[in-house]
A and B are shown apart, each in its own frame.
Chain A
């Protein structure tokens, strides 16, 4: 009999499930990939077969303009892979379609989270705690200084600023997949009924969310409107457009950014942000550590982020952990 867990092997370019010869979120093209969610650093194109939720597959199709090899799996559904490996997709609460993947083989259970959060999000079902032997987690915000405030507080900050500057607009930089739609949905939940203006790069993803039943209210494109139409409005764009020439067409924009990194003042200053909104689609420090306690695995593997601090936490709490040093996962804009 093989050594325990020898069937699952972390390699620099992804986690390899040896008997099934499939890869989880590989950063280069492979024959068969199991993809946790649609962010580009996890969902690369060019795989022979891509196994993911229908939402994630739709996002990938939007991005790579092909459905070739797309194999949908619903939340809660288990598929049998080669070599006696079962894979079950479980909500991760990160973005539309995001999933943790439970892998079972020879009586051993491994959960790989992809990216996840524990806060409620009107655009996707919540994270489910799943017991396992090995818990493979992210650690994007794995430092104790990261505690995300309630999103209601951040919405109040945003709407308060808008009210105080009725002749300007507030330009919110937000990741085009997930963060942007969550911010819009939370604005609607906070009672903001006005049209919200979008950078062109946001439009298709918002429409895709709407097709999957997420209500975003009235959305307009910046390019279809005059400067004066947008006074007193919220405009959403990708973070890269915040300080771009593009924003010159806006009426006296106040630059905001929705990101967990905004917790650190100098980070916000580096991006020339005037209104930092601490909104993240990742678990904060308390949520990371609480999740590990709830899942209570035999061992934790850490894929990416601030792994040193989370390793230290495991040491302080007499838990087993290792860092995988995977390459290619980026987190700067979240």
Chain B
């Protein structure tokens, strides 16, 4: 555990990507199995222990530290695991040597809700502050060491000098502690057998178009739908649904698992049906409707019938055991067009191409799009192979311009992680009438992005200087500042007093210059609803 703790701390304080890669690669080479496999899983948030949650840690600490002092400390640090690691009282007497990573994992895995309150302290007592931090982070996930799963895979590839795309592909076939992956990478054993496994294949992604102009002779255009990008895999009678990050979300969308029985790997947009939220008749509803279904581990019958999911297909990666990824997009598209009629219509359709005379015409079509399930356009090079990640010049996304509205800052909350000392989450509102006639502000949204570090410092200072009230980590501030807020869409919502909910709001500009009474009214925001 000490070596793993040292790795975690070194990664936290290292800015350079190359240095991070070097540190991880060195650890993977020098650490025996299965410790290195567990460590790799921990770095990429691949571990989950049912009995150990943030609330468990809070509970343990509140038995040992005054609850008020705990809360004040937690609020200052901005991270439960770190606060607990710092505040944990040092063990009196002999607590035993620090556990290895595998011993820690096995012990954590064996804990139940009944035993965690006695067993977790015994582990913590055997560690110093850095070890406790590493253990609690390993137990609860969210390492925040600036290591994406992609970076960890690259580090693995560097450590053992193997191709990263192979690592990516085998990775998803295996469970921690990845014994077969290390046997292949480190010992030169045969690669893991993946033929009959429902594996995730890394997605091909797009760059924002920005100022680029493309020739439609080389590029095909299709709508970019506002759902979630998924990959459906069916092999040897088994179907999996993967999210963009490669997480298995089959349990959340059981109807899609049942719907696919052709051996294939498909790329598409998962949407829910319904015309009631601004979509096409019988077609896709807005993202707002899909949101109700995300993140659930089980789904009720009612939900399945009210918001049934379907997938609008973009691409086909494999079919009947044949890997199509090295074919040009046009050839894959033809295979896909042939495949779609074979699939159940209730759960699959084809993402239609957008025909335009030229680029300007395409721009007009994009401007005119009124369907709320459309996020913008995709432009795909007609001869592009299906390659993992973002390769320049192959695929572009061209989102719809955001909507803008002027709001007034009302509340601020401290951020977490890197922003733990800053008031960086802002709630803002619009006027419910004429501010000169005594109208009030009603909150309409919350944003924590869209400003620079320098602006954040200025905002933080303003919050501290104009605080009216404190509610735990939240401060109510004087109404002095206008934000120009950008957002993708706005919907009716019963949850908010204003009756409105914005989708993906972010600070577009800080209007230091604008008097608050000139901010927008709710009526202006309501006019933008397209439900």
Residues of chain A whose beta carbon lies under 8 Å from any beta carbon of chain B: 143-145, 263-270, 272-276, 306, 308-309, 312-313, 316
Contacts and interface: CB of A to CB of B under 8 A. Distances in A.
A306 B13 contact: no
Interface residues of B, number: 26
Interface of B: 9, 12-15, 65-66, 68-69, 72-73, 76-79, 82-83, 86-87, 133, 144, 417-421
B69 A309 contact: yes
B13 A145 contact: no
B30 to A, nearest CB: 16
Contact of B79 (A266, A268, A270): A266
A316 B87 CA distance: 17
A49 B420 CA distance: 42
B77 A145 contact: yes
Contact of A263 (B15, B68, B86): B86
Given A264-B86, A266-B77, A266-B420, 19 more contacts: A143-B72, A144-B73, A144-B87, A145-B73, A145-B77, A145-B83, A145-B86, A265-B12, A265-B82, A265-B133, A266-B144, A266-B417, A267-B421, A270-B421, A275-B13, A308-B72, A312-B66, A312-B72, A313-B69
Contacts of B79: 265-266
Contact of A316 (B66, B73, B76, B86): B66
A265 B421 CA distance: 12
Contacts of B72: 143, 306, 308-309, 312
Which one of A275, A276, A306, A309 has the greatest number of beta carbons of chain B within 10 Å? A309
B69 A276 contact: no
B76 A145 contact: yes
Contact of B68 (A272, A275, A312): A312
Contact of A274 (B13, B69, B144): B13
A257 to B, nearest CB: 11
Contact of B418 (A145, A270, A306, A309): A270
Contacts of A265: 9, 12, 79, 82, 133
Contacts of B76: 143, 145, 264, 306
Which DSSP category, helix, strand, loop or mixed, fits chain B's interface? helix
Contacts of A276: 13
A265 B83 CA distance: 10
30 contacts: A144-B65, A144-B87, A145-B76, A145-B77, A145-B83, A145-B86, A264-B76, A265-B9, A265-B82, A265-B133, A266-B77, A266-B78, A266-B79, A266-B144, A266-B417, A267-B421, A268-B12, A268-B13, A269-B12, A269-B13, A269-B418, A270-B419, A274-B15, A275-B13, A276-B13, A309-B68, A309-B69, A309-B73, A312-B66, A316-B66
Contacts of B83: 145
Given A144-B69, A308-B72, A273 B13 contact: yes
A38 B427 CA distance: 41
A275 B14 CA distance: 9
Contacts of B419: 270
B67 to A, nearest CB: 10
Contacts of B86: 145, 263-264
B468 to A, nearest CB: 15
Nearest to B83: A145
A144 B417 CA distance: 20
A143 B78 CA distance: 14
Contacts of A268: 12-13
A263 B87 CA distance: 12
Contacts of A316: 66
B173 to A, nearest CB: 34
A266 B146 CA distance: 12
Contacts of A273: 13
Nearest to A144: B69
B13 A143 contact: no
A30 B72 CA distance: 36
A275 B13 CA distance: 7
Contacts of B421: 267, 270
A272 B87 contact: no
Contact of B73 (A143, A266, A270, A313): A143
A277 to B, nearest CB: 12
A272 B15 contact: yes
Nearest to B67: A312
A73 to B, nearest CB: 35
A144 B88 CA distance: 10
Nearest to B15: A272
Nearest to B16: A274
Contacts of A269: 12-13, 418
A308 B421 CA distance: 16
A243 B14 CA distance: 14
Contacts of B12: 265, 268-269
Given A143-B73, A144-B87, A264 B82 contact: yes
Nearest to A309: B72
A143 B76 CA distance: 9
Contact of B87 (A145, A266, A275, A312): A145
B3 to A, nearest CB: 16
B7 to A, nearest CB: 14
Residue among A144, A270, A309, A316 with most chain B CB within 10 A: A144
A100 B57 CA distance: 41
Q: Which of A267, A269, A276, A312 has the most CB of B within 10 A?
A: A269
A144 to B, nearest CB: 5
A332 to B, nearest CB: 9
Among A265, A272, A274, max chain B CB count under 10 A is at A265
B69 A312 contact: yes
Contacts of B133: 265
